[in-house]
Structure 1
Amino acid sequence: MRFFSILGWIVGLTLTLGGGYLLSLGGSAYYLIAGIVLLITSGLAFKRQPSSLYLYSIFLLGTFIWALSESGYYWWGLAPRLGLFLAIALPLFFTRSWSVSRKILVAVWTIITLVMLASLINAPFDKQGELPMASINANTEDSVPKGDWNAYGRSNLGQRYSPLEDITPDNIANLKQAWVYRTGDMKGPKDVGETTYEATPLKVGNSLYLCTPHNWLVALDADSGEKRWVYDSKVLPEMQRQHQTCRGVSYQPPASGTIPMAINQTQPSENLASVSCDAKLFLPTSDARLIALDPVTGARCQGFGDDGVIDLTKNMPFKQAGYYYSTSPPLVSNGFVVVGGSVNDNYDVNEPSGVIRAYNTSTGELAWNWDSGNPDETAPIGPNETYAVSSPNSWSIASADDKLGLIYLPMGNSTPDQLGMYRSPAEEKYATSVVALHIETGKVAWVQQFIHHDLWDMDTPAQPSLLDLQTKSGLQPALVVPTKQGDVYVLNRKTGEPIIPITEQPAPQGTIPEDYASPTQPSSALNFKPEKMTGAQMWGATPIDQLICRIQFKKLRYEGQYTPPSIQGTLVYPGNFGVFNWGGVAVDPERQVMFAMPLDLAFVSKLIPNDNQQDLGPVNTGEQGVSTNTGSPYSVSLSPFLSPLGIPCQQPPWGSVAGVNLRTGEKVWQHKNGTTRDMTALPLPIPLGMPGIGGPIITKGGVAFMAASLDDYLRGYDLKTGQVLWTARLPAGGQATPMTYLNSKGEQMVVQVAGGHGSLGTTLGDYVVAYKLEK
């Protein structure tokens, strides 16, 4: 009894004080009431009064009813609200007297516990259904050989769809590890926090080509994983970069039509003399170079740029070290290699331009430049001219329709991302959008914007996926692009007109005096936007950290999605991590369906006046934390919305997989995805539904593959239902998109890069892992 009393007083006092403060902020009265009841019960128990057990029984029953009203019949909503109080009750079971009150308490405790345990089998956030598996559009040929993977999304269409069908739901259980290759490129002590391994290999002929975080280009034998050659671009560490990564390289097919065959190279390829290249590989680097390499030996290509190298800082208005670089593979189409780049978020008002440049694939000569800050002038800029300052960039992966002669760029925002007063009308028009450009000239064909006057860093993060879609109006050339804010836009890629309707919705108003917020924002009828957050969604391991999260929630400014940034601090939901990020979606052009991995995480954005000389602590350390916005009136602090225990303040699930019928726009199934296996001290695979970053692929065999989640697994899913059919334990985090191909024996292989993600805390490594069916 004494132990119960002491523990009850501690918890009761905490809940009373915190609950009173929460109530003063307009929050739930439950915590104050619970705290007072606990204090009274503890006092009665200390005096060994039988009424303490009656009162605690009533308290447990009342808390159970309250928990059900807030979270529904959901284990992960009930357990944090009730678990601590059920545990506190255990010492009362051993009271030697008061048999009636003790029996009542035990009965109430047992009933609540059993009802809670039964909720484990309930999945209120899952949606069951079946995607159509019949082929709707058989005319889906592209220029990539059936067994190859020639571009980041397999082809310039960005579908992440393979026509291979050897691996099926019926035989995937026989998929076993075939080989492992280790690159040797690991995160070093002088690297930035977000040093990540996000590469998707290419497969050309019988060779795999992939890049590493420090921009090595590695050629492997596609059968065995044996190293052919390695080109080290000698990128030096730079702490001002926000990212140290490489998502992939690009391939220019040979004019002769002869597929290049990589050879085993005994010396480092960077030491070889440059050669004449028929085919080319293009490697972007984090020190802002574009390098053209020979697929056979890895030597630089003669006649392209300066001995195979183009300096991407040329004509930039500002050239701060580490502020501009390329993390995504360039686009190769119709004789051009088109390059975008990353520009650091929120470090300075005066930063490099987000210009998009097209170079001749043979000579490296600049063919055109499209700068959203000066969008009408695309002729190559003069040697003494500079591009627009801090204009919106395209850091993700572009797509192309070679027949239409159009490329499709997912556009980011101007920096500073949370301060809109520096933007020109042209920059406002093209930011946070998809822009279609004519590949021959760089002239704009059309633009579709996804946020007006973006104040939340909601860059369009993902490669658009192109397919010909059956609609009520007949077969249309479609473009599918997911966004950070949760919309999935389906547009006619020839005209930019919506296929699935887009509406304008009212948005919250009220900004800092220097700025404004758009009165409306676009919304697609196909979307994965979460409902407006409430205090009932606050979560924690115990009622105490849940209470702290509720207090934080009430202290932040939040009027729903698109609440403007503020000095008070604004809840950004969905958060900066995005419902979708660079992993994008996979689309099946034959079945006309989509596989997606929507996330559900909130962030906190806070503007900090720069005129009060306050100590901001460490600044400009990445996308999270405090960034100075040098030259502006405000710094900005960005962080996930976390409890004191470092877990999300919002109730799980935080990550799921979903299947969509693109012909109807219907979300057919959705299931939570991922476990806590690698994110806690105890390796418990609790299926909470975890966030992740990376993307899926779809195969004609009816299987989708994806790693991405914060646990170290590659999973195979039944495309029809979304159910997990197969898992493989990875040696490190799989924050990259897999790919699949045929080896020289005609066997279907699946390859996943596993190197982890520096800022997500997943297991770091340098692995390339391949799987095939066991005979």
Structure 2
Amino acid sequence: MAIKITAVIFTLIGLALAIGGGQLLMLGGSAYYLICGLAFVLTAILLFLRKRVALHVYAGIVVVSLIWAIWEVGLDWWQLGPRGGVVIVLGIWLLTPWIRRPLGFQSPSGIRYGASAVPLAISVVISVAVAILSMFFDPYDQSGDLPTQAVAAAPALGGNVPNGDWHQYGRTPFGQRYSPLDQIKVDNVANLKEVWRYQTGDVKRPDDVGETTYQVTPLKIGDSLYVCTPHNLAIALDATTGKEKWKFDANSGMNPDRQHQTCRGVSYYKDQAAAPGSACAERVYLPTSDARLIALDAANGQVCPSFADKGTLHLEAGMKFDPAGYYYSTSPPAIAGNKIIIGGAVNDNYSTQEQSGVIRAYDVNTGQLVWNWDSGNPSQIQPLQPGQTYTTNSPNSWSVFSVDEDMGLVYIPLGNQVPDQLGMNRSENVEKYSSSIVALDLNTGADKWVRQFVHHDLWDMDVPAQPVLLNITKPDNSVVPALVGPTKQGDIYVLDRRTGEPILPITEEPAPGGAIPEDRTAPTQPTSALSFKPDRLKEHDMWGVTMFDQMVCRIWFHQYKYDGRYTPPSLQGSIIYPGNFGTFNWGSVAVDPERQVMFGMPTYLAFTSKLVPRADVPAKGQGEKGSEQGLNRNDGAPYGVYMGPFLGPLNIPCQAPPWGYVAGADLRTGKVAYKHRNGTVHDMTPLPLPFKVGVPGIGGPMITKGGIAFLGAAVDNYLRAYDLTNGEELWEARLPAGGQSTPMTYAVEDGRQFVVMVAGGHGSIGTKPGDYVIAYALPR
């Protein structure tokens, strides 16, 4: 009976592989699956006939599979496993007495002997040995050390922030995410322990939108921490104990048309002219998901009525089209030169009639508009007159700004005009400013320079990260004020922040064509000398848990349009790699201004993009609307677009891991020192497996003078500490929810250095929701 069941199973496997393999071969893919499928069918027939040669034929399958797998991917265990797992398991089954005895012979004395299976046994043993050997190799790991010596003895950190504080999203206006504290070091970080835990009470609701996320980095001023939550609570905590001081609810309500429900942080301001201890002498500014900016007294959370309209600035002012839920600010505004400067997020790909991407500067005390800069009409920087409106649907900035107050410049990372995947009818101004960093005059709003990172963007490659400012010492010992700009496409641009000219070389590389007839592509695209851009995908990069879903991913790979990075969207459907999730996203990178090195988390996930003619887009109200995954409606445009991660039949990425790394690079030379797989599948599978595959993530790193880099972000729920010099993991703490925020650090009155992480999960990547603020420190 066992041999008949086995023969049926082999027949089914063989037919599946032969049919799929034949389709793959016709698409120009590997012939292995067809050959293997036919060999499985032949083995099944011989098993039905009870022929001993079936074992030898299957031994051939094992040997050929091993040779083919090593030829394709070398000693990469994570890719060898799916190719050989089913084959080896079935080979072991064929070696059991239940199979060998029916295929053997009976001696004259009546004793039943099993069929000889020496070739099969040898092939299985060799395959298992190769699999074990491959576990000790990582062909994707890059080891090396960053320079350890300080290049700048007294580096510019930006602003006037005490060493033990964290006053802005990136600690200072320079956005370095670097702390000069050094109590926690490489040799003691493993001793970190949790010292307090606070829960905000703002938990994910049943009627929340999918992109409901905790992305906040707390601020620390004096003895207080300030945080915001996805539903726009502002909270002050005691920095030493974590006890709540006050809580303010903005009552921003719920709206299913919002694409995001998040708050990355609040902004802090101290009025130097106000009497110490007077009302609103120190303020916290809270951006809300219903397009308001609220000024609060940092001492007690009371609204400051002298700001704007009884404490509230209404950001929808000046918008020609203002559909509710389509516009809001998710990031903390910048404060400098007695101005508060804010942009806004618009719903990607909902409509062509959305709010403007205007950047506005207001008097930080009164809320009066000082200047406005609209990328669709950049010469109009004077405040609009009554009745005037900003440019509809101009490129916006939803991320965090950086400021060099001495230079009088604010640096704005810009997105592109929606629809993101359609470039028809874009104005000259839109083509100039989209997907760029622009430097604006802090006092007037006039643009001083612009550096574009994607020409004629059809991929939603908006600049997502806060630019990082530092001074770089060149080999001739001259010092250049620099800007570091991480991008979704993987390039890290290092520019002279005075002019936007490159410090590390930028080259223009040929880019694929093949846009739809109504559109076009740029013939070239820029690439930085410091780049984490991925290699071009090939068929053998397709992945699965088994050989079957891997084969399906190979078939889909050939069915999509793919010509490398910047393959344009198509009616056929295109693979976009890196996808719009980005190699780097809003978490940016962390920079050590003394050693002049960076630490980051490059992520690699392919997406797909398929244009849908307007006639085929479902009517509104049929469960389809604009979103970051699924159908983006693009109302008013000739096409909608289906987009999302390139996933296989089992809903895992079609491309092989690693999907996420930690990496370190020298900003003076542009050399990448190391790249190591980051994160495990602990929270990606039904079983809590500790396998260090290298998983995707979203969030940012933080580094300290003690030589430690801290990072959560990965889709497993951990906060980790790394040696900044070589990227070695030194410590980890299990989080009660997803850690998709950026950690920060500060000192308390007794001198202890605390590290704080917010763990609340991320709706888009499906990590566990929560409402935790957790502090760690060394034992007393």
> The TM-score by the shorter chain falls in which range?
over 0.9
**Alignment match of 1:138 (pick from 143, 148, 153):** 153
User: What is the CA–CA distance in structure 1 between the aligned matches of 2:588 and 2:276, rounded to whole Å?
Assistant: 29
Amino acid at match of 1:435: V
How far is 1:615 from its partner?
A: 7.3
**Alignment match of 2:143 (pick from 124, 128, 134):** 128
User: What is the CA–CA distance in structure 2 between the aligned matches of 1:472 and 1:373, rounded to whole Å?
Assistant: 40
How far is 1:237 from its partner?
A: 0.7
How far is 1:460 from its partner?
A: 0.2
User: What is the CA–CA distance in structure 1 between the aligned matches of 2:94 and 2:27, rounded to whole Å?
Assistant: 35
Deviations 1:508-557 (A, max 9, x none): 11211211111111110110011110100000011100011011111100
What is the match of residue 444 of structure 1?
Answer: 447
Q: Is the alpha carbon distance of 1:174 and 1:613 closer, same or farther for their aligned partners in structure 2, counting shifts above 3 Å?
A: closer
User: What is the CA–CA distance in structure 2 between the aligned matches of 1:699 and 1:256, rounded to whole Å?
Assistant: 33
How far is 1:293 from its partner?
A: 0.8
How far is 1:2 from its partner?
A: 2.3
Amino acid at match of 2:425: Y
SS in 1 for 2:736: coil
- 1:293-332 matches, within 5 Å, as 293-332=296-335
Q: Is the alpha carbon distance of 1:704 and 1:512 closer, same or farther for their aligned partners in structure 2, counting shifts above 3 Å?
A: same
Which stretch shows the higher mean deviation, 276-285 or 216-225? 276-285
- 1:227-626 matches, within 5 Å, as 227-255=244-272, 276-472=279-475, 474-612=478-616, 618-620=623-625, 622-626=627-631
SS in 2 for 1:732: coil
Contact 1:243 1:622 in 2 (8 A): no
User: What is the CA–CA distance in structure 2 between the aligned matches of 1:391 and 1:162, rounded to whole Å?
Assistant: 36
**Alignment match of 1:61 (pick from 54, 60, 63):** 63
Amino acid at match of 2:349: N
Amino acid at match of 1:8: F
How far is 1:435 from its partner?
A: 0.3
How far is 1:243 from its partner?
A: 0.6
SS in 2 for 1:121: coil
What is the match of residue 272 of structure 1?
Answer: none
- 1:28-39 matches, within 5 Å, as 28-39=30-41
Contact 2:372 2:383 in 1 (8 A): yes
How far is 1:26 from its partner?
A: 1.2
How far is 1:235 from its partner?
A: 1.0
Deviations 1:134-180 (A, max 9, x none): 11102225410000000000001000000000000111111100000
SS in 1 for 2:135: helix
- 1:30-109 matches, within 5 Å, as 30-94=32-96, 95-96=100-101, 98=104, 101-109=116-124
Deviations 1:622-664 (A, max 9, x none): 2111011111110111110001111100010000000001111
User: What is the CA–CA distance in structure 2 between the aligned matches of 1:524 and 1:618, rounded to whole Å?
Assistant: 42
User: What is the CA–CA distance in structure 1 between the aligned matches of 2:399 and 2:66, rounded to whole Å?
Assistant: 47
**Alignment match of 2:181 (pick from 164, 171, 174):** 164
User: What is the CA–CA distance in structure 2 between the aligned matches of 1:213 and 1:613, rounded to whole Å?
Assistant: 31
User: What is the CA–CA distance in structure 1 between the aligned matches of 2:94 and 2:38, rounded to whole Å?
Assistant: 19
Amino acid at match of 1:75: W
What is the match of residue 680 of structure 1?
Answer: 685
Q: Is the alpha carbon distance of 1:128 and 1:22 closer, same or farther for their aligned partners in structure 2, counting shifts above 3 Å?
A: same
Percent identical residues: 54
TM-score of the superposed pair, with normalisation by structure 2: 0.96
What is the match of residue 127 of structure 2?
Answer: 112
Contact 2:10 2:41 in 1 (8 A): yes
What is the match of residue 267 of structure 1?
Answer: none
User: What is the CA–CA distance in structure 1 between the aligned matches of 2:251 and 2:460, rounded to whole Å?
Assistant: 31
- 1:181-196 matches, within 5 Å, as 181-196=198-213
**Alignment match of 2:756 (pick from 734, 751, 755):** 751
TM-score of the superposed pair, with normalisation by structure 1: 0.97
Q: Is the alpha carbon distance of 1:257 and 1:178 closer, same or farther for their aligned partners in structure 2, counting shifts above 3 Å?
A: farther
Matched, 1:4 2:3: no
- Unaligned runs of 5+ residues in structure 2 are 105-113
User: What is the CA–CA distance in structure 1 between the aligned matches of 2:215 and 2:616, rounded to whole Å?
Assistant: 40
Contact 2:62 2:91 in 1 (8 A): no
Which stretch shows the higher mean deviation, 622-631 or 572-581? 622-631
Contact 2:350 2:626 in 1 (8 A): no
Amino acid at match of 1:625: G
How far is 1:743 from its partner?
A: 1.0
What is the match of residue 268 of structure 1?
Answer: none
SS in 2 for 1:67: helix
Deviations 1:362-408 (A, max 9, x none): 11000000000000110001121110010000000000001001000
Q: Is the alpha carbon distance of 1:613 and 1:190 closer, same or farther for their aligned partners in structure 2, counting shifts above 3 Å?
A: closer
What is the match of residue 199 of structure 1?
Answer: 216
User: What is the CA–CA distance in structure 1 between the aligned matches of 2:20 and 2:497, rounded to whole Å?
Assistant: 54
Amino acid at match of 1:118: L
User: What is the CA–CA distance in structure 1 between the aligned matches of 2:249 and 2:543, rounded to whole Å?
Assistant: 46
SS in 2 for 1:752: strand
Q: Is the alpha carbon distance of 1:540 and 1:444 closer, same or farther for their aligned partners in structure 2, counting shifts above 3 Å?
A: same
What is the match of residue 650 of structure 1?
Answer: 655
Contact 1:277 1:302 in 2 (8 A): no
User: What is the CA–CA distance in structure 1 between the aligned matches of 2:208 and 2:323, rounded to whole Å?
Assistant: 17
SS in 2 for 1:5: helix
Contact 2:274 2:281 in 1 (8 A): no
Q: How many residue pairs get matched? A: 761
Amino acid at match of 2:94: L
Which stretch shows the higher mean deviation, 3-12 or 383-392? 3-12
How far is 1:745 from its partner?
A: 1.1
Contact 2:349 2:627 in 1 (8 A): no
Q: Is the alpha carbon distance of 1:43 and 1:258 closer, same or farther for their aligned partners in structure 2, counting shifts above 3 Å?
A: farther
How far is 1:276 from its partner?
A: 4.0
How far is 1:611 from its partner?
A: 2.1
How far is 1:426 from its partner?
A: 0.4
**Alignment match of 2:667 (pick from 662, 667, 674):** 662
Q: Is the alpha carbon distance of 1:54 and 1:316 closer, same or farther for their aligned partners in structure 2, counting shifts above 3 Å?
A: same
How far is 1:187 from its partner?
A: 1.1
Deviations 1:169-199 (A, max 9, x none): 1111111000000000011111101100000
How far is 1:56 from its partner?
A: 0.7
User: What is the CA–CA distance in structure 2 between the aligned matches of 1:337 and 1:111, rounded to whole Å?
Assistant: 67
Q: Is the alpha carbon distance of 1:640 and 1:7 closer, same or farther for their aligned partners in structure 2, counting shifts above 3 Å?
A: same
SS in 1 for 2:95: helix
**Alignment match of 1:214 (pick from 228, 231, 242):** 231
User: What is the CA–CA distance in structure 1 between the aligned matches of 2:270 and 2:563, rounded to whole Å?
Assistant: 52
How far is 1:101 from its partner?
A: 3.8
How far is 1:302 from its partner?
A: 2.5
How far is 1:257 from its partner?
A: 8.6
SS in 2 for 1:352: coil
User: What is the CA–CA distance in structure 1 between the aligned matches of 2:26 and 2:51, rounded to whole Å?
Assistant: 33
Q: Is the alpha carbon distance of 1:676 and 1:228 closer, same or farther for their aligned partners in structure 2, counting shifts above 3 Å?
A: same
Amino acid at match of 2:385: G
User: What is the CA–CA distance in structure 2 between the aligned matches of 1:394 and 1:770, rounded to whole Å?
Assistant: 31
User: What is the CA–CA distance in structure 1 between the aligned matches of 2:149 and 2:524, rounded to whole Å?
Assistant: 40
Q: What's the Cα RMSD here?
A: 1.3
Amino acid at match of 1:726: W
